Structure 1
């Protein structure tokens, strides 16, 4: 279940949020498409410092598939415990670290379980108390994992600490729902959350402190990947209904778009500021094509 893609609501810059200046650098961003033979709706969610990417795509039946991409080598990752075929079924992946470990989720009859993949081995990531599914979304080079889970009340973010084999809950103060998205080796974690009115916001968590953080002048906003330098990728919907991607660095949001795209969604970033995501071609706004790019 690709909850990360559909967790969308309206957002505005509130007094709780950091409403910062945005810089437009669309002309300085260069990218190329990432396609998977036989696959459609390609979303590239993560990239590590070696340039290895992790991507999701669907087949003709709508079943979700996951693969890593290194140069021209595409390696499928398919959790053997995944149940069913068709829309919403299969294996999805979101995060990859420098060791090539991958995290994501696989479908059950109704909900999803999270997993971590290392060297051909799949290990379940299931938060205690999760009664309606767990999704692992990001991990760092230490092996700590963030994501989200649902209980009988709402959706919570989580942080799994590998050294102690423990799960902690992430709840942005004032949120009706929270998702953990990415984490770097310093523990800086990106969040997406909904307020009590169903408005979507971005934010961060580190050392016990929560910081709301939104793209200025946007209708929707989401924080996604974070690299070792603390640079964060955002995506946001403007007042014309167009999605743009943003690089947040040193207190400034810089907009970037894939050339000739109807919408651009940024998701992941590595230490060399290589950025990955997906875009809708203007000629076919119903299709998603992955991309890798840089400034």
Structure 2
């Protein structure tokens, strides 16, 4: 069982595996545990939830294709497929209803995206081979700031750098001192960041506040 997102009222979304090894999304609302499966899917995973209880995630269709999805409070499900994508995943949803995620193209590369009323907008970090990965990689605060991780040109898979895109569309990248891999996994409304870094083959949790400061000893 993994809890992957939480909204301002404390509702959590995530994914768990049943005895038959299938993955199912869930919402935990107080003491209530709600299982969520996209109809016809062989695998459903929940990743983000907004203050209204609407969730986003991914599901796998019987032909093995991965699609993003949005589920409204009344249970209606909308499939999300980025234009030209072979695989799409929805990672997060803001209070304003903007959805972020990643998609993969036929050349095997991963790209970030924002889905809003204006349509799809691709997000690629400058000099990136991949923006994100099959595990996700783009999150958005309601203020418009984005965060995630990317594989730089010339770097092998698994040697990522974290990034932030500010509301003015400027990118800033980050590699924890002494690490070979640094990733941001979420950003809150204040601009505080959480993620991980790998140093000496050991994985560590990471917190960076909106001013770029780390806690003492981290």
TM-score between the two structures when normalised by the length of structure 1: 0.65
Alignment size in residue pairs? 200
Structure 2 residue corresponding to 1:260, chosen from 167, 175, 178: 178
Aligned partners of 1:176 and 1:194 also within 8 Å: yes
- In the alignment, structure 2 segments of 5+ residues that lack a partner are 213-218
- Distance in 2 (CA, whole Å) between partners of 1:159 and 1:240 is 34
Structure 2 residue corresponding to 1:233, chosen from 147, 150, 153: 147
- Distance in 2 (CA, whole Å) between partners of 1:276 and 1:265 is 8
Q: Partner of 1:121 in structure 2?
A: 32
Aligned partners of 1:184 and 1:230 also within 8 Å: no
- In the alignment, structure 1 segments of 5+ residues that lack a partner are 1-90
- Kindly report the root-mean-square deviation, in angstroms, between the aligned alpha carbons of the 2 structures: 1.4
Query: Residue 128 of structure 2: SS of its match in structure 1?
Result: coil
Structure 2 residue corresponding to 1:215, chosen from 125, 135, 142: 125
Query: Residue 196 of structure 1: SS of its match in structure 2?
Result: coil
Q: Partner of 2:70 in structure 1?
A: 159
Structure 2 residue corresponding to 1:246, chosen from 134, 142, 163: 163
Structure 2 residue corresponding to 1:199, chosen from 101, 109, 122: 109
Query: Residue 219 of structure 1: SS of its match in structure 2?
Result: strand
Superposed, which structure 2 residues align to 1:1-295 within 5 Å?
A: 91-108=1-18, 109-130=20-41, 132-153=42-63, 154-162=65-73, 164-207=74-117, 209-222=119-132, 223-238=137-152, 239-241=154-156, 242-249=159-166, 250-281=168-199, 283=200, 285=201, 287-294=202-209, 295=212
Deviation at 1:195, TM superposition (A): 0.7
- Distance in 2 (CA, whole Å) between partners of 1:289 and 1:100 is 26
Aligned partners of 2:140 and 2:147 also within 8 Å: yes
Question: What is the CA deviation profile of residues 132-182 of structure 1, one whole-angstrom value per residue up to 9, with x for unaligned ones?
Answer: 2100001111211100000122010000111x3211000001001100000
Structure with higher RCO (Cα < 8 A, 6+ apart): 1
- Distance in 2 (CA, whole Å) between partners of 1:179 and 1:95 is 15
- Distance in 2 (CA, whole Å) between partners of 1:94 and 1:275 is 15
- Distance in 2 (CA, whole Å) between partners of 1:112 and 1:127 is 11
Aligned partners of 1:215 and 1:234 also within 8 Å: no
